[in-house]
Chains A and B, each alone.
Chain A
């Protein structure tokens, strides 16, 4: 049973560019949440997708957008990258929206230069 998978593992981008990160949830999970984790900080909630819609959103600008597909996989898009967007981006899946039994993927480490 595959857990949560994310791609790519690492990414280097230049300021102003756009990036797309991908996530496949654990089998049987229908909800995907995205987090940004800067060094030395806890994960910061970006948004949650359920039934292909953004259900909840944290305090992130509109440059951060996402999508969920019918197979429950998800993408996180970040436009107009800033140096401060450098972080580990974590995807987590759960069976339902309650965050119980939430499993994280290994993350994508994004470096913006």
Chain B
């Protein structure tokens, strides 16, 4: 059964720092991995989608990498800003019988002004 883990559960860093959020998954046979942002009381906003054949995707100050063999993905945020404060979730579509989308529990990020 596919499991997705995000560590740490919460993170506080000063404004301006570069930071890395981690996502690990137990079954390396995946179709894609997606990173989301969730603000308090809101829905999820898609940030980056990495197909299984890709190694990384970039959007502005965000860069997501994928290493299927080790079952890991990282989300790199450059020059963090207070507006980046949110919960970040990763999700995978796995090659199993159900082909469900499995979410991690998220990392709650707080950028200190």
Chains A and B form a bound pair = no
Residues of A bordering B, CB below 8 Å? none
Residues of B bordering A, CB below 8 Å? none
